Structure formats: C-alpha cells, structure tokens
A and B are shown apart, each in its own frame.
Chain A
Amino acid sequence: MNPLLEQFLSESREFSQGIGEKLMQLEQAPADQGLIQELFRLVHTLKGNSGLFTFPEMTRVLHAGEDLLGMVREGRIAYSRDLADRLLEAVDFVGLLCADIEATERIDASRVEDSVRLAESLRGLMPAESFKPTVADTRRMAATANIETPSAVAPATSLFHDLPEATRAHALSQSQAGDLLHWLCYTPMSDCFFQGDDPLFLARQTPGLLWGKVRPHEPLPALADLDTYRCVLTFDLLTAAPREELMEHFRYVPDQVTMVEVDPRWLAPERAEHASAVNPPGSSANQKPSELRPRPLPVPGSDALPAMPIALSHEEPAALEKILSAQQHILMLDGEPESRAGRLQAVALVLANLAQGAGDPAAAREVKAALAECLSTGRNDLLLLWIEASQEHLLQAYAARAHSLDSQPAPANTISPPGTDVPEPNPAKMEDGIKFGRRSEDALTKPKSLKVDQAKIDRLMNLIGELMVEKNALPFLAQRAEDQYGVRELSREIKGQYASINRIVDEMQDAIMQVRMLAVSVVFQRFPRLVRDLSRKLGKDVQLVLEGEQTEADKNIIESLADPLIHIVRNSLDHGLETPAVRRACGKRETGTLSIRAAQEADRVVIEIRDDGKGIDPAVIKRKAYEKGLIDEAALERIDDREAVNLIFAAGLSTAEVVSDLSGRGVGMDVVRSAVEKINGTVVVDSQVGKGTTLRISLPLSMAVTQVMVIQTDGQLFGVPMDNVVETVRVPRSAVHSIKQSLTTVLRGRIVPLKALNTILGIPANPLRNPDDELAVLLVQAGGQVLGLLVDGFKETIGLIQKPLAGFLSGLSAYSGSALMGDGSVLMILNVREIV
C-alpha cells in the first residue's frame, strides 16, 4: 500500500471518529454553532481527501453529508436526532469503506448501491427547494420519476424498435442461450461536460456492448440557440455484460443510469414486429406495463436482513438445554461468597437473553425480578425455580421459531423475471432501512498505527534505563549472598533469576528502541529538491541517487543527521562536482552523479555520500592547513594523503578559493564532524583527485544505551565505551620499552604507544602488575589512532544509560558522562578521544 493511501486511511479513521464525537456532543448542545462549524470542517476535509483517490462511493456520501451540514450551518435546516442518525450511518459506511480499502486497496462495486442510497437519504433531509440549484439533483429527480412511472418502459420501446434486425437476432440468440442481457438508460447530467465527462466515450466503452443509441431527451434547440456545453442527450445501451461489471463501469454516475434485465421475449421477432411506438414490447394484452417496471440500479431494501432475533437451526433446542443445565449447575455451586453476586448476575443475564431471544420480553423481566430477589435474600432458589418453570416454554418457543425460519423462502435476492412481483422501491423504506449489517458498536476499527507523544516514549526510555540499573544490582546481591552470608545456593538462584530478567529487559529495551526507530528517508526526502535547486544555481548538471532509504535508526540520530548531511551535500555540489564544461574537458560524463546510500552494518548505520567530482587534492589541504597553523612542519612531512584529506574536518579550513553563499567559510566540515561525534558517530573522507570524493558517516543505531567496558585503576572503576576498545592484552613488563619519555610496546609487529591511565588522570600511583609480572593494556582507538592504556585490571562489559555531566562537572573533558552502577556507585565514563 502506498504511503499516501496509508495516511489517508489513518486520517479517515481519525476524522470519522471526530465526526462521531462531534455528533454526540451536538446531541447535548444542538445549537452550538462552533460544533457545527467543526463538524462541517471535518466532513469537508474528509470529502476532499477521498477525492484524491478514486473512491467515488465515499466522496458521494460525504458530499451529501457536507451539503446537509452546510445547510445546518446556515440555519436553513435545524439539527435533529434523525439527521444525526443518518450522518452516523454515513460515518459507519465510510468506516466500512476504509476497511475495504485496507483489505483490497479498492472499493467493491457492490458498495455503489449503498452509497447512492445513503447519499439519497442524506439529501432527503434537505428542504425540497434546495434540489433546484444543482443540476445534479434535478437530473436525479427526473431519473427517480422515471422509475416510479410505467412510462419508464417507453425508452425500451424505442430501443427495441430501433434495433437493427441483425443485432436483434444476435441478442435474442445470446439471451436464449442463457446470457442475461441488460438494457441501460444513461442520462448524463446536463453540466457533465464541465466535470470532464465524455458520456459518448463512457457509453462506447460499456462492457459487452451489443448496441447503443444516442437521442436527445428534450427537443434539441435550433443551432442558433444551442448551448454547446449543456448536455441534453440520453444513451440507450444493450449489453451482455453482468450487472456487477456494468455497475463498476458506471460507478461514477450510478445515479444517472437505470438498468433493466432484458427478457428474451422482448427480443422475440413476433414481438418486435408487433411492437410499435404505442405498443411497447411486453405490454400486450396479458401484461400490464407496471409489471415491467425497470429495476433501477440501486436495488432498494429487497435483501434487507430479516428482523432480529435470528434462530439458526434445529440444533438450537439441544444447545438451549445445555445452556440451561449449565446455569442450574452454576446456581447450585457453593463457591466463595464474595463472587456470588457476580455469578448470579451472569446467570440472570444469560437467562434474560434467552428469553429475549425466544421473543418473550415478559419472561426476561421475570428473570430480572428473580435476580433482585435472589441478591437480596442470599438464596438462589428463585432463579432455579424460574429455569425449571420456563425450560419447556423456552424450548417450544425456539423450536417454533426454527421451524418458521426453515419454511420461509430464502431472502429475495434472486432475479425475478418480469411478470412476477418485483418489490417496488419504497421511499419510506429506503429512508429507514439502510443498514449495513455493521453498526458503529461492532465495526471495530483497528488502527494499525498509534500517534504517541514523544514525552511518553522518553519516559519509557528512562524507566527502562532505571530497570537496567536495578537489574545490574542483582549480580552484586548474588556476590554478597555468597561472600557475606555464605549462602552459595541462594547466590546461584539469584544469578539464575538475573539471567532471565536480563533477557526480558534486553528484549524490552529492544522493543522500545524499535518504537523510536525512524527511516532515514525522513532526512533523505529533502535532498532531491535541495540538489535540484543548488545545481541549477551553480549551473551544474547533477543526478542524485538515493539508496537504502528504508534503513532505520533512532529518532534522535536521524534528526541530528539532517544538518550534517545538508552541509556535506552542499559541499559536494559546490566544491566537488564540476560544471559541465569542465567535466567535458576532463573526459567525464557531463552529468555528475551524487549518490547517498544508507545501510545498516552490525549495530551501526553507515551513510555514504559519494560524488564523481574533482576530488580533494591532499597537497592543497596540507598546505592550507599548514598556512592556517593547524599542523606543524613535522606533521606536514609525516601525514599521508588519506590523513591529509581528513584534515578538511579541522576547524577553520576552507579550500574554496572564493567564499560563496553556499559554502567556503571554513565552518562546514568541522561542524559536520562535531555534529556527528556528538551522537557518537564517526566521519571519514576518502578522495581521489579527479575521480571523486566519498564521505562515510557511521552512526550508532541508538544512543540510549552505551556498551561500556569497566576497568580498574588504583582501586577506582572507570568505564570505556566499547566503541573505542580495540582489545585487551597482558604485556610482560620486559616487552615495554621506553623511547625517550614515552613507553611503547610491539604488538603483532606494530609499535603501540603506551600511556598509564593513572598518569593521564593525575593519580599518583604506578600501574599494578600481576604475579607473572605482566601489565594490563587496554588498546583503545580514537580519531584513527591506536593507544595502549595501562590499567590495573579489566572488569565486565555492561550496557548502561549514560548521563551527561552537568553543572561544574561539565567542564571535565576527560569524561564523557557518568552512569549509575548496580551497587549504587557512580561510574565515570572516560572520553577516550580527549585523553589520548
């Protein structure tokens, strides 16, 4: 289902509900102009929305509702209970259509009839003179008149009269072969040309068309007085298509079409010969014209449901016996006294319903009286007595009902040949009798999406965070049980409990994360426009390729991604991609390509922005960086091209020769970097001169829970985000070398600088060594560098919710935040990037 339709459905449900509510409120305050205004607005909007799609059934009903409410609003008709009923009916119908659309993405043609009837009933409430203004209504009234009078056969007369012999013979043979033919009389509204209709086209496209004829239904004026855009034509059509197909074909104009099933006798040659303008087919001596009344397209209540209640079958008496004996059993139970009242009420309800079902409201009242008695006396005999007394009677009542239903003919849904009694359209019945077998109370709409306030989700998030902290306390408790109280068994059990709680909490956290997930398309969708506008402004020819728009990540991540991405795209367009002329000179395609791809890699989202522009020249970057004092001379020699290119993220560097209004003020890329890093992301750039530039942004899926490795130094615990941890190793002290002031070691053939965490944090203690004279080294990486941190020991890895340092502490750059541990202690999380 396309997103627009999905949104339409969810909005329609909201509106339908809103309309229902407003109608209810109006019952209390019928004169409230504000409410009526609001109601009108709701119906109007819903109608407008439905018009965006091809749901004429829905639009038709809502349009009638809107007109009606418009009059209420203007005070031309008063609000009434009846009006509310019909509008509610209309709303139910809309709900029904929504369910249809949701299931099949279309509205079944069978709804056309209902929609016409419903619109009819709504319009029936409007004052008669209001029919005049719209041509549509005049036309429709004429059509109704056609149905009501025997003269409706007249068109048939002329039809069969005009029918060429060959067509007639063909139709007759088809009709005799058992194909049901239909005669259609299609009279378009006189202003139909203004609505873009071409009735002739519609008529020509009629499925199964055997023959057709156009005739003016009122004398055509002389050429001089002719109004070109007023349609006065009627189409007579003979078709072999089934009724459903025809209804589908004329679904936009059902009120302008009348349809009759053709009796083969009408087509018989002798009839046709006899037939003349005054002697229509089928109206000879033994048949009165009225018996040939055409069936209008909307079939009025002929297949309405029989009145409530409905007995199902002969098995019912048996079932009834079972039900009754079950009630007796319940009444004889001793049970707990506190639930006695509830039991009695339940039994009484069952009995009362049974009596109601048997068509005996008096018995139902008896049950109620007996219940009241039983409740007050505390004895159950009265209800028991009632069951015994009424059992026989109920059984008989149901048996009789089942019998009468069996002998009743099936609902008259079958096609009645002309000559038998076709139920007459009865306007009064049409008005009360419109039921859809589903009322608002049982039309359970199940919205598939919820709109939830973000604050509620955040609260859930916080709660789950606290739950995690509490959960993490369990292992400590287990430890204490063992160490302090010496109960190993208990400790083991606590650990077992912890394992299962851990699993549930993890799952719960995952579920809440899912709620917060948003597709990157939210951010991506603005790029086509942005790229188009910018490239035109810059005189460049750019093709944008978006991929992986469905990739999801936490809402906060996605939202904070928007600005950096726009910066990057601007930079690519401004600095990266060349003008068509330059590209041609370089032997590239004139149209540059900018591709933005999103993909999920493990627990991270990677977004790649690639252009096939001129790339970044590392030499230029190095020189600029040196000029601006961002790197010293030594670095100028040392850094390789890749590192040089990544210098574009340094603050205050702009490579553009001219500062444009797009970019080039040197604030672009470092803003990007800091924005990305703020959400624990990384950004790297890869570029080949002349070939293009690729930026890769890697972001966590969610920033709520951080996986942290706990380490120990000088008796204190610290956390290091797992994103920064490369590995943990034990290095023999002999393998640690001092080069000048700094310590290093060789790890798998690579020199790794070492730093003692104690030194960094200003703790006056030396790193501890284990009995084997080894040092614990935590290999961390940040900003492309790897460093070994000398610590005292490693602890477990835990997931926790990191809280930023607030107040005075926020100035401590060595820490990125703090978190609460399971035992209540505070764990400081190291900001690896700052300390290396």
Chain B
Amino acid sequence: MAIQFKKNRIVFHEVVGVEEAESLLEAMQGNSSSKVDLAACTHLHTASLQVLMAGRPAIVSWPRDAELRAWIETALGARS
C-alpha cells in the first residue's frame, strides 16, 4: 500500500497511484484533522494531489524529493 493510514496521520510512500485517491479522500473526509507525511513520496497521482489541494491538510513533512516538494508547495500555495 502506497499510503498508510494511521490514527492521525496519513503517510505516503514512493509512488502513489490513481487507485489510492479514493481511499485518501475517504480517510480525509472521516478525519479532517489528519496530518500528512509526504517524506517518502516520490510521485503522487494528480487525483491524489487534487484531494490534498481540496482538503488542505496539515503537512508534517514535505517530500524529500525536492522537485515534487516544489510542485506540492506551490499547489498548496496559500499554506506554505
């Protein structure tokens, strides 16, 4: 599983595909205070990115991949 759903934290791993978007959305709908850990993420599908953009969760750690980080930072612009 590319996304691990913990109690209060959603952890992304490596490449997050399109399939994960649905469960990500459900998880975020269920617990809006969940924080997101992107450190190990190298790519996430646009659909998941869109969910993040809509939900605007707190990001506890940004991707180590600098390029992806730049993308996500600008996408979630207002917060960062």
A residues with a Cβ closer than 8 A to B are: 162, 188, 193, 197-201, 204, 212-216, 220-224, 226, 228-229, 231-233
Give the CA-CA distance A231 to B54 in the complex, in Å. Answer: 12
Asked, given contacts A200-B71, A214-B49, A221-B54, whether A228 binds B43 with beta carbons under 8 Å apart, the answer is: no
Residues 32-50 of chain B, each 1 if its beta carbon lies under 8 Å from chain A, else 0: 1000000000011111011
Which of B21, B25, B32, B54 has most chain A Cβ within 10 Å?
A: B54
Given that A223-B32, A224-B29 are known contacts, is A233 also in contact with B46, CB under 8 Å in the complex? yes
How far, in whole Å, are A188 and B53 apart by their CA atoms in the complex?
A: 16
Are A220 and B46 closer than 8 Å at their CB atoms? Answer: no
The interface residues of chain B lying within 8 Å CB-to-CB of A221 are: 54
Whether the Cβ atoms of B54 and A200 lie closer than 8 Å is no
- For B70, the chain A residues whose CB sits under 8 A away are 212
- The smallest C-beta distance from B32 to any residue of chain A, in angstroms, reads 7
Cβ–Cβ contact A201 & B22, under 8 A: no
Question: How far is A200 from B15 in the complex, measured between Cα atoms in Å?
Answer: 12
Please tell me if the beta carbons of A162 and B74 are within 8 angstroms of each other in the complex: yes
- Which residues from B are CB-within-8-Å of A224? 29
Q: Which of B51, B67, B68, B75 contacts A228 (CB 8 A)?
A: B51
Bound CA span A233–B48, Å? 12
On whether the beta carbons of A231 and B47 are closer than 8 Å, the reply is: yes
**B60, CB-defined interface residue at 8 Å:** no
29 A-B interface contacts by CB (under 8 A): A162-B74, A188-B46, A193-B18, A193-B45, A193-B46, A193-B47, A199-B46, A200-B43, A200-B46, A200-B49, A204-B68, A212-B74, A213-B77, A214-B53, A216-B50, A216-B53, A220-B50, A220-B53, A220-B54, A223-B29, A224-B29, A226-B25, A226-B54, A228-B25, A228-B51, A231-B46, A233-B46, A233-B50, A233-B53
- Give B1-29 as 1s and 0s: 1 = Cβ < 8 Å from A's Cβ atoms: 00000000000000000100110010011
Which A residue's beta carbon lies closest to that of B23? A228
Instruction: Check A228/B53 contact, CB under 8 A, given A201-B46, A233-B46.
Output: no
- Contact in complex: B71, A212 (CB < 8 Å): yes
Which of chain B's residues has its CB closest to A193's CB? Answer: B47
Contact A214 B54 (CB under 8 A): no
How far is it, in angstroms, between the C-alpha of A222 and the C-alpha of B28 when the chains are bound?
Answer: 11
Contact (A215, B75) CB under 8 Å given A199-B46, A228-B50: yes
Which residues of chain B come closer than 8 Å to A231, judged between CB atoms? Answer: 46-47, 50
Residues of B within 8 A of A198 (CB): 18, 45-46
Nearest-CB residue, chain A, relative to B43 = A201
User: What 10 A-B pairs are tightest by C-beta distance, nearest first?
Assistant: A200-B46, A214-B75, A220-B54, A213-B74, A228-B21, A199-B46, A223-B55, A226-B54, A228-B25, A198-B45
Name the interface residues of B47-80: CB closer than 8 Å to any CB of A.
Answer: 47, 49-51, 53-55, 67-68, 70-71, 74-75, 77
Question: How many positions in chain B have a CB within 8 Å of any CB in the partner chain?
Answer: 25
Say yes or no: B47 contacts A229, CB within 8 Å: yes
Complex Cα gap A119–B22 (Å): 34
Chain A contacts of B22 at CB under 8 A?
228
A231, B46: Cα distance in complex, Å: 8
The CA of A226 and the CA of B74, in the complex, are separated in Å by 20
- What's the minimum C-beta distance from A205 to chain B, rounded to whole angstroms? 10
Provide the residues of chain B in CB contact with A212, threshold 8 Å: 70-71, 74
Are B50 and A232 neighbours in the complex by a CB distance under 8 Å?
A: yes
Q: Which chain A residue shows the least CB distance to B26?
A: A228
Contacts of B77 in A (CB 8 A): 162, 213, 215
Closest to B50 in A: A233
Chain B positions within 8 Å of A213 at CB level:
71, 74-75, 77
Shortest CB distance A478–B (Å): 84
Question: Chain A residue with minimal CB distance to B53?
Answer: A220
Query: In angstroms, how far is the closest chain A Cβ from the Cβ of B65?
Result: 10
**Complex formed: what's the CA distance from A198 to B16 in Å?**
11
Q: In whole angstroms, how far apart are the Cα atoms of A198 and B20 in the complex?
A: 13
Q: Verify A200–B51 contact, CB threshold 8 A.
A: no
- How far is it, in angstroms, between the C-alpha of A223 and the C-alpha of B51 when the chains are bound? 7
Name the distance in Å between A443's Cβ and chain B's nearest Cβ: 41
Given contacts A204-B71, A213-B75, A232-B50, 9 further A-B contacts (CB under 8 A): A193-B46, A198-B18, A198-B46, A200-B43, A201-B45, A212-B70, A216-B50, A223-B51, A228-B21
Bound together, the chains give a CA A198 to CA B50 distance in angstroms of 12
Residue with the greatest number of chain B CB neighbours at <10 A, chosen from A197, A198, A229: A198
Contact status A226-B51, CB under 8 Å: yes
Chain A nearest CB, measured from B33 CB (Å): 12
Residue of B at shortest CB range from A167? Answer: B70
Which residues of B are found within 8 Å of A215, using beta-carbon distances? 75, 77
On whether A204 and B67 interact (CB within 8 A), knowing A188-B46, A228-B47, A229-B21, the answer reads yes
* Docked complex Cα distance between A252 and B18 (Å): 19
| Distance, CA A217 to CA B32, complexed state (A) | 24
CB neighbours of A233 from chain B (8 A): 46, 49-50, 53
Nearest B residue (CB) for A213: B74
Name the distance in Å between B13's Cβ and chain A's nearest Cβ: 17
Name B57's closest neighbour in chain A (CB-CB). A223
Closest Cβ of chain B to A164, distance in Å, is: 9
CB-based nearest B residue for A162 = B74
Cα of A224 to Cα of B71 in the assembled complex, Å = 24
Contact between A223 and B46, CB atoms less than 8 A apart:
no
Residues of A within 8 A of B18 (CB): 193, 198
Q: Which of A188, A199, A222 contacts B54 (CB 8 A)?
A: A222
User: Shortest distance in angstroms between A193's beta carbon and chain B's nearest beta carbon?
Assistant: 5
In the assembly, what is the distance between CA of A233 and CA of B76, in Å? 12
What distance in Å separates the Cβ of B48 from its nearest Cβ neighbour in chain A? 8
A214: nearest residue on chain B (CB-CB)?
B75
Find the B residue at minimum CB distance from A221: B54
Q: How far is the CB of A667 from chain B (nearest CB, A)?
A: 57
Which residue of chain B is the closest to A211 with respect to CB atoms?
B70
Q: Do residues B25 and A223 form an inter-chain contact, with CB atoms below 8 A?
A: yes
**CA of A222 to CA of B22 in the docked complex: distance in angstroms?**
15
B68 proximity list for chain A (CB < 8 A): 204
Most buried by A among B50, B70, B71: B50
Q: B24: shortest Cβ distance to chain A, in Å?
A: 8
B71 to chain A, nearest CB (A): 6
| Distance from A250 Cβ to chain B, minimum over Cβ atoms (Å) | 15
Q: What are the residues of chain A within 8 A of B45 when measuring CB–CB?
A: 193, 198, 200-201
Q: Considering the chains assembled together, what is the distance between the CA atoms of A433 and B49 in angstroms?
A: 42
Q: Which residue from A220, A223, A232 sits with its C-beta under 8 Å from B28?
A: A223
User: Shortest CB–CB separation between residue B74 and chain A, in angstroms?
Assistant: 4
When C-beta atoms are compared, the residue in chain A nearest to B48 turns out to be A228
Contacting residues, chain A, for B32 (C-beta < 8 A): 223
Residues of A within 8 A of B75 (CB): 213-215
Asked if A214 and B71 make an inter-chain contact with CB atoms under 8 angstroms apart, the answer reads: yes
CA distance A667 to B39 in the complex (A): 72
* C-alpha spacing A216/B50, complex, angstroms: 8
Report the minimum CB–CB distance from B40 to chain A (whole Å).
17
A214 in contact with B25 (CB, 8 Å): no
Write the chain B residue with the least CB distance to A232: B50
- Report if A214-B74 is in contact (Cβ < 8 Å); known contacts: A193-B46, A200-B49, A201-B43: yes
The closest CB in chain B to the CB of A194 belongs to: B18
Q: Which residues of A contact B43 (CB under 8 A)?
A: 200-201, 204
* Residues in A whose Cβ lies below 8 Å from that of B44: 200
| Alpha-carbon distance A215/B75, docked complex (angstroms) | 6
Alpha-carbon separation in the docked complex, A619 to B9 (Å): 79
Tell me which residues across on chain A come within 8 A of B51, comparing CB atoms. Answer: 223, 226, 228
Q: How far is the CB of B70 from chain A (nearest CB, A)?
A: 8
**Chain B hits for A222, CB < 8 A:** 54
A193 and B77 alpha carbons, distance in the complex (Å):
23
Chain A: minimal CB distance from B44 (Å):
7
A156 CB → nearest B CB, Å = 16
Nearest CB of chain B from residue A631's CB, rounded to whole Å: 71
CB nearest neighbor in A for B49 = A200
Q: How far is the CA of A223 from the CA of B31 in the complex (A)?
A: 11
- How many angstroms from the CA of A33 to the CA of B13 in the assembled complex? 57
The CB with the most chain B CB atoms within 10 A, among A224, A226, A231, is that of A226
Inter-chain contacts of A223 with B (CB < 8 A) = 25, 28-29, 32, 51, 54-55
- In the complex, A188 Cα to B32 Cα: how many Å? 28
